[in-house]
Amino acid sequence: MGPHRGLGHLGPLAVGKVRPFGVRPAWILDLHRFLGGLATIFVGVHVLAILADSYTNFGLSDVLLPLASKWHPVAVAWGSSGCT
């Protein structure tokens, strides 16, 4: 599960009648967008770090395509599919 999976729980708060601490739907939407962007940045930094790492020699296709890696293909597939 990627870090952005938990952000889906903010959607019902924005459209529902129950809101924690009485916050407005616009604030919840803004928080949702901020956390989604932050998760995307963290995933991008992680992908760039694994590409730059000299321990395993990952290529771009190894990172983006599930089961394309020669080094622990199932584990890498879980990581790359967790980004979607």
Which of 16, 39, 40 is CA-nearest to residue 28? 16
Average pLDDT estimate for 50-54: 88
* 0.85 exceeded by pTM: no
Evaluate if residue 52 carries a pLDDT over 60.
Answer: yes
**According to the per-residue pLDDT averaged within each range, which of 22-31, 34-43, 53-62, 70-79 is highest?**
34-43
Evaluate if residue 41 carries a pLDDT over 90.
Answer: yes
Average pLDDT estimate for 4-33: 71
Average pLDDT estimate for 37-45: 90
By the 8 A CB rule, do 66 and 80 touch? yes
By the 8 A CB rule, do 26 and 19 touch? no
Residue, of 9 and 62, whose pLDDT is higher: 62
